[in-house]
Amino acid sequence: MKRMLSVVGARPNFMKVAPIASELRNSPDIQHFLVHSGQHYDENLSGSFFAELDLPKPDVNLEVGSGSHAVQTAEIMRRLEPVLLDWRPQIVLVVGDVNTTLAAAVTAAKLGIDVAHVEAGLRSFDLTMPEEINRKLTDSISTLLFVTEQSGVNNLKREGVAEEKIFLVGNVMIDCLLRHREAAAGSRILDRLGVRHDGSRCLPYAVLTLHRPSNVEEARTLQGILSAVSSLATDLPVFFPVHPRTRKQIADFGFECYLADPGNSHRGLIPLDPLGYLDFLSLNAQASLVLTDSGGVQEETTILGVPCLTLRENTERPATVEQGTNQVVGVDPDRILASARSVLNNPQQEHRCPPLWDGKAAQRIVQILNGHLQCV
């Protein structure tokens, strides 16, 4: 029996691994181990996702917790190495671009273990982003590169990666969304927030997510974003599930004045605790507009057909702009507000589903993994 080990650590990882883990249950010749680094350890950022996504309980939780990029990456490597030495998988699967991704890939590669990278090839071309560094380094040491969109294939070829290592398979984030869309429709989040009436009709509202260090750790940038969105929130409520890092920065900078009373769901920029996957999917699916700095949310809104404004100067997911509902608007407050009001005043948008975003990416990945493991 072949042994494969997947490593997850942060909220987006769980959504990407869940469809693959499910598909691997149909491959009895592969023994699949799951390791949780503990990079995200808050229940709403981690624990609830395993139950909602039907992810198996991790075989090991490294319980790394928070820390600087260097400390967190090094600690994951230190704790993961004995696990790999003990279990000796033939391949280690990593997903996305977080510190867990890079740490696991480097640890496996140094032990001579093949690495498969899901969501390979995405590039923002901005090396000030820690995620861009993680992406490029992980790709450079991976054996199998599973790509979500054509831009990723083009980027890897441009970087000199051998064509036989590159596989355009589609998007496992979309697999996850399509598998859980019906369950998310049964979420009561909209009733709890007071925006759903007459059974299914919703009052207009927007959603904000904000977590990237470049947006939340520099006071002027964070203040500009909050100022613009709170101005928008005079037109319609904006729900803001607040990442723990962002909540701390808002408090440290004294920016609570931009937030509405959490008990008032009818006006203002309304802070919420982090949401589970199904509640968050339900909230985004009915929104008039989503503002975000998250790559995964750009992808999800493309499939949901919901207008999305990306609060960054770039995106590593150009398919969401070229074919989806996403616009990259940066962090200038005036541009954010003008773009948001333009979308709300002109809600009809043409969009297409990017190729292979059809809910079958995990099937393609597992088929390729099966073939690869037969040869090692």
Q: Which two tokens stand for residue 142?
A: 């991976």
Count of CB atoms situated within 10 Å of the CB of 221? 17
Count of alpha carbons within 13 Å of 2, Cβ hemisphere only? 20
pLDDT band at 260 (very low <50, low <70, confident <90, very high): very high
Instruction: Name residues whose C-beta falls within 8 Å of residue 346's C-beta, 6 or more positions apart in sequence.
Output: none
pLDDT attached to residue 325: 95
Rounded to whole angstroms, the Cα distance separating 238 from 344 reads 13
pLDDT attached to residue 80: 97
Report which of 172, 102, 171 is spatially closest to residue 142, judged by C-alpha positions.
Answer: 102
Burial of 167 (0-12, 13-18, 19+ CB in 10 A): middle
Report which of 217, 272, 274, 228 is spatially closest to residue 250, judged by C-alpha positions.
Answer: 217
Q: What is the mean pLDDT of residues 349-361?
A: 92
Q: Do domains 2-170+357-373 and 182-345 have the same CATH topology?
A: yes
Residue 312: pLDDT over 70: yes
Q: What is the mean pLDDT of residues 334-342?
A: 97
Residue 248: pLDDT over 70: yes
Q: Which two tokens stand for residue 273?
A: 């605790």
2-170+357-373: CATH number = 3.40.50.2000
pLDDT attached to residue 197: 64
pLDDT digits (tens, 9 = 90+) for 96-123: 999 999 999 999 999 999 999 999 999 9
Count of alpha carbons within 13 Å of 232, Cβ hemisphere only? 35
pLDDT attached to residue 200: 63
Burial 366-376 (b: 16+ CB within 10 A, else e): beebeebbeee
Rounded to whole angstroms, the Cα distance separating 308 from 223 reads 20
Q: Which two tokens stand for residue 135?
A: 């992406």
Residue numbers annotated as active site? 211
Rounded to whole angstroms, the Cα distance separating 2 from 182 reads 34
Rounded to whole angstroms, the Cα distance separating 232 from 65 reads 35
Report which of 159, 129, 65, 142 is spatially closest to residue 101, judged by C-alpha positions.
Answer: 142
Please answer whether residues 284 and 300 qualify as being in contact, where contact means their C-beta atoms are separated by less than 8 angstroms.
yes
pLDDT band at 347 (very low <50, low <70, confident <90, very high): confident
pLDDT attached to residue 43: 55
Q: What are the beta bridge partners of residue 176?
A: none
Q: What is the mean pLDDT of residues 229-254?
A: 95
pLDDT digits (tens, 9 = 90+) for 171-185: 999 999 999 999 999
Fold entry, domain 182-345: Rossmann fold (3.40.50)
Rounded to whole angstroms, the Cα distance separating 293 from 91 reads 32
Count of CB atoms situated within 10 Å of the CB of 300? 26
Q: Which two tokens stand for residue 317?
A: 């997911």
Q: What is the mean pLDDT of residues 28-39?
A: 93
Phi, psi torsion values for 373, nearest 5 degrees: -70, -20
**Max CA distance (Å), the chain:** 60
Enumerate the domain spans of the chain.
2-170+357-373, 182-345
Q: What is the mean pLDDT of residues 292-307?
A: 96
Rounded to whole angstroms, the Cα distance separating 360 from 353 reads 14
Q: Which two tokens stand for residue 175?
A: 């697999």
pLDDT digits (tens, 9 = 90+) for 195-231: 876 656 688 999 999 999 999 999 999 999 999 999 9
Q: What is the mean pLDDT of residues 362-370?
A: 98
Q: Which two tokens stand for residue 32?
A: 């699949």
Please answer whether residues 206 and 289 qualify as being in contact, where contact means their C-beta atoms are separated by less than 8 angstroms.
yes
Phi, psi torsion values for 102, nearest 5 degrees: -65, -45
